[in-house]
Amino acid sequence: MPVIAKVFVALVALEHIGFLIMEMFLWTTPGVRKAFGTTAEFAAASKPLAANQGLYNGFLAAGLLWGAIYPDPVFARQIALFFLTCVLVAAVYGGVTVKRSIMLIQGLPALIALVIVLLV
């Protein structure tokens, strides 16, 4: 897989590491509550659910990084395509069921990376 594709895949992975940190460790902080539009009460009540969601974002990040560093270029591309597609599906689902901006924040970077992986 070309370096430019690896860079974009890694950027999507970094985004998901950020989601992991926010959802697993910072969920009840004022800045994260503001970013997700939650109240202190809701954040406290949903903390275990957010941590679980953060863990899944960590799995996505791990898969994306695996694809970005895997030494076999053909298999690396397949790994990256699979995990980018997973991110896109999650973004569409979240955009439809939770908040439309998820499609932009999570889905657009994954779509750009997917197109680059497919074209280069």
For residues 80 and 7, give the distance between their C-alpha atoms in angstroms, rounded to a whole number.
11
pLDDT value at position 47? Answer: 98
Question: Tokens for 111?
Answer: 């779509």
The mean per-residue pLDDT over the stretch 84-99 comes to 96
Domain that holds residue 105: 3-119
Q: What angle do CA 73, 74, 78 make, to 5 degrees?
A: 115
Q: Could you report how far apart the first and last alpha carbons of the chain are, in Å?
A: 8
The mean per-residue pLDDT over the stretch 17-39 comes to 97
Q: pTM for the whole thing?
A: 0.94
For residues 57 and 63, give the distance between their C-alpha atoms in angstroms, rounded to a whole number.
10
Mean residue pLDDT of the chain comes to 97
12 CB neighbour count, 10 Å cutoff: 27
Total domains in the chain come to 1
